[in-house]
Amino acid sequence: AQSVTQLDSHVSVSEGTPVLLRCNYSSSYSPSLFWYVQHPNKGLQLLLKYTSAATLVKGINGFEAEFKKSETSFHLTKPSAHMSDAAEYFCVVSVLVGGYNKLIFGAGTRLAVHP
Amino acid sequence: DAGITQSPRHKVTETGTPVTLRCHQTENHRYMYWYRQDPGHGLRLIHYSYGVKDTDKGEVSDGYSVSRSKTEDFLLTLESATSSQTSVYFCAISGVGTDNSPLHFGNGTRLTVT
């Protein structure tokens, strides 16, 4: 069965310091993986996606994620946090079910950025 | 931002009343989805559509129905609203359902059932 585990429900960093949001997945197949960000009262915005082309994926706003098959991980990182990065982040695995891609969401990690 | 509009943005309704939420897209995408978001659950798929008049159930479809009479519109109906359906509802679209295309989401509808 496919599943996604976000290891931290809350992460707090200071502005200018690195960000690490951790995600482990379980999949019987070669997965497609995504990170989405959700700002308050907004929909989800795609940060980046992995679809087996390259293990290090660069996304928008300076975020990147590395796919590690041996560790079944897809952690999201950013070298230097900005106040505007404060939001909730979702790790998502996509699996093909019948005729569509079923998205399985992690429970989310809320990132707080302090001055 | 992908052209997705959800209406209404907020609604309060009483238990037992029918409610319809609307999702309108301007991208001409084939696939449309309805999700609900609840604390601790991430997003869960209610129903999806893979074309006009073609719909199927997601993982939490009980108590919900959908219709898609035009490519651009996907309606979600709560036949008889219950308090457990208080949630934030998101519509999403994607161009193709089988090539790992990411979804683009609307800004959500906050529904409160009293």
Inter-chain residue contact B4 with A43, CB threshold 8 Å: yes
Taking chain B, what is the end-to-end CA distance rounded to the nearest angstrom? 33
- DSSP bridge pairs for B83: none
How far is residue A12's CA from residue A18's CA, in Å, rounded to a whole number? 11
CB contacts of A90 in chain B (<8 Å) are: 42-43
How far is residue A36's CA from residue A107's CA, in Å, rounded to a whole number? 12
- Closest CA relative to residue A45, chosen from A36, A57, A53: A36
Q: In terms of CA atoms, which chain B residue is nearest residue A32?
A: B100
Q: What is the pLDDT of residues B48-101, one digit of tens each?
A: 998 999 999 988 999 999 999 999 999 999 999 999 999 999 999 987 655 566
Inter-chain residue contact A45 with B94, CB threshold 8 Å: no
Neighbours of A14 (CB within 10 A): 10
Distance of residue B67 Cα from the nearest chain A Cα, in angstroms: 18
The per-residue pLDDT string of chain A (115 residues; one tens digit each, 9 = 90 and over) reads: 778 999 999 999 999 999 999 999 987 777 889 999 999 888 899 999 987 778 899 999 999 999 998 999 999 999 999 999 999 999 998 877 766 677 888 989 999 999 9
